[in-house]
């Protein structure tokens, strides 16, 4: 991990070499984030609740999903931009180094501009929690932490799964945005507000529901079963097919010839 943190420091130093550009990009990301935030606020000026979920309950979902997505954009940008490594031929160079491939890909890029979204998601999370009547105990704290960790894990798994397709297509598939950006926008609302087909798909195929719906029900006191509290742990199982698919794709990889 020392190599990874050293690479983060190197990328941060490189981005700060162009400070005006960094500051302007940082500020622009703040505006983009609050666009999403104000859309939810505007929605609740017309409705008091969405299938029983109030404004601050939805904002809690929103902040958890945005946190996981922003975390990966900052610290796993190399996975998200994996197709560029393939196209430039840089992946061939990584294969020659005696280090873990996924770690090297993680070290290849980062985007500290997106730290603004990370900070904003934490602020919205705090605002939402302060307006909710939560009966706090140790299990509720653990559930909240698991929701945040699982949010980071699920987007990492999706990015890794999308990266594995680049071994076959070279160019990254735009369909991945359906499950990353599209999934992010959908999962910022409790999954239960959607039709049963969506609920089943985003429970058993891409398990967003285990990030901020089933544990949310326990966190809000709507379900008492401890299984709901620890349901985010199931998201960690999603890493298994993601990692396996990546390494299977790597076995099929042939150099692009750069």
Q: Is residue 13 part of a domain?
A: yes
Q: Is residue 48 part of a domain?
A: yes
Structure tokens at 64: 């958890």
Q: What crossing angle do the helices spanning 55-75 and 115-130 adopt, rounded to 10°?
A: 160
pLDDT at 194 (0 to 100): 84
Following CA atoms 134, 127, 74, 146 in sequence, which dihedral angle do they give, to the nearest 10 degrees? 0
Instruction: Tell me if 212 sits within 8 A of 187, measured CB to CB.
Output: yes
pLDDT in tens, 97-115: 888 898 888 888 888 888 9
150 has pLDDT over 80: yes
Mean pLDDT of 145-158: 94
Q: Is residue 231 part of a domain?
A: yes
Q: Is residue 257 part of a domain?
A: no
pLDDT in tens, 23-65: 888 888 888 888 888 888 888 888 888 888 999 999 999 999 9
Q: What percent of the chain has pLDDT over 70?
A: 94
Q: Is residue 127 part of a domain?
A: yes
Confidence tier at 139 by pLDDT (50, 70, 90): very high
pLDDT at 171 (0 to 100): 60
What is the spatial distance between Cα 122 and Cα 126, in angstroms, rounded to a whole number? 6
Q: Is residue 258 part of a domain?
A: no
More confident residue, 200 or 180: 200
Least confident of 182-196, 216-230, 231-245: 182-196
Q: What is the pTM of this model?
A: 0.90
Domain count along the chain: 1
Of 39, 37, 12, 38, the C-alpha closest to 115 is 12
Which domain range does residue 135 map to? 2-251
Place of tokens 């984030």: 33
pLDDT at 55 (0 to 100): 92
Confidence tier at 157 by pLDDT (50, 70, 90): very high
State the SS3 of 184-203: HHHHCCCHHHCCHHHHHHHH
Structure tokens at 191: 């999954």
Confidence tier at 176 by pLDDT (50, 70, 90): low
Mean pLDDT of 114-134: 92
Instruction: Tell me if 205 sits within 8 A of 148, measured CB to CB.
Output: no
- 48: number of CA atoms within 13 Å, CB side? 1
Following CA atoms 190, 193, 194, 198 in sequence, which dihedral angle do they give, to the nearest 10 degrees? 40
What is the spatial distance between Cα 43 and Cα 29, in angstroms, rounded to a whole number? 22
Ranked by mean pLDDT, which of 48-52, 86-90, 230-234 comes out on top? 230-234
């Amino acid at each position: 991990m020392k190599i990874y943190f050293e690479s983060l420091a190197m990328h941060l130093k490189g981005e700060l070499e162009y400070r005006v550009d960094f500051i302007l990009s940082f500020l622009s990301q703040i505006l983009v984030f609050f666009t999403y935030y104000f859309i939810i606020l505007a929605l609740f000026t017309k409705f008091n609740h969405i299938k029983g979920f109030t404004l601050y309950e939805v904002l809690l979902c929103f902040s958890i999903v945005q946190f996981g997505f922003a975390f990966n954009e900052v610290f796993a940008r190399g996975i998200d931009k994996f197709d560029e490594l393939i196209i430039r031929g840089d992946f061939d160079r990584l294969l020659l180094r005696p280090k873990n491939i996924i770690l090297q890909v993680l070290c290849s890029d980062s985007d500290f501009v997106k730290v603004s979204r990370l900070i904003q998601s934490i602020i919205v999370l705090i605002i939402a929690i302060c307006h909710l009547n939560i009966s706090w105990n140790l299990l509720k704290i653990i559930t909240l932490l698991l929701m945040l960790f699982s949010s980071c894990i699920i987007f990492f798994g999706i990015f890794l799964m999308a990266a594995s397709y680049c071994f076959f297509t070279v160019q990254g598939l735009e369909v991945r945005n359906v499950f990353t950006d599209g999934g992010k926008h959908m999962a910022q609302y409790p999954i239960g507000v959607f039709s049963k087909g969506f609920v089943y798909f985003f429970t058993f195929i891409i398990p967003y529901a285990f990030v901020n719906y089933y544990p949310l029900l326990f966190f809000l006191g709507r379900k008492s079963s401890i299984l709901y509290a620890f349901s985010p742990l199931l998201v960690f199982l999603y890493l298994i097919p993601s990692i396996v698919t990546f390494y299977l794709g790597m076995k099929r990889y042939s150099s692009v010839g750069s």
